Amino acid sequence: MRIRDAHTTDVLTVDAEASLREVCRVMAAADVGAVAVTGDEDIGIISERDVVRAVASDTDLDKTHVRDHASYQVRTADLDADTVYVAHIMLDHGIRHIPVVDEGKLVGIVSMRDLLAIETWA
């Protein structure tokens, strides 16, 4: 199966200049574990894990920007990538969310949960 059949196409984004509290609100409202970060040259992603690390280091959620805790130069998956291959990449690198791109443009996100659903309900 291909990533085009598995990824979430409703891409939630947050600006790199947003506060960590703002991204927490976006993730909580949408019940997601990661969102894409816009406003910088590279595709970025910020996850629950990133926010937890920030909180654990006593970061002020209102004064700290997303860009300070987001991951950039992240692994991405093309629409035609094999889901098993992408799952292996995620497992090998401890990644739970990968941006999906088409000709370099962000078109979605695939999560471990998405891939697990394919294997479970296919």
> In this model, does residue 40 exceed pLDDT 80?
no
Q: What is the pLDDT of residue 21?
A: 97
Contacts of 68 (CB under 8 A, 6+ apart): 54
Read off the pLDDT of residues 53-103 as tens digits, 9 standing for 90 and up. 999 999 999 999 999 999 988 999 999 999 999 999 999 999 999 999 999
Residue 23 CA to residue 55 CA, distance in Å, equals: 13
Token readout for 43 is 């595709």
> In this model, does residue 6 exceed pLDDT 70?
yes
> In this model, does residue 38 exceed pLDDT 90?
no
Sign of CA pseudo-dihedral 60, 46, 94, 75: negative
**pTM, to two decimals:** 0.86
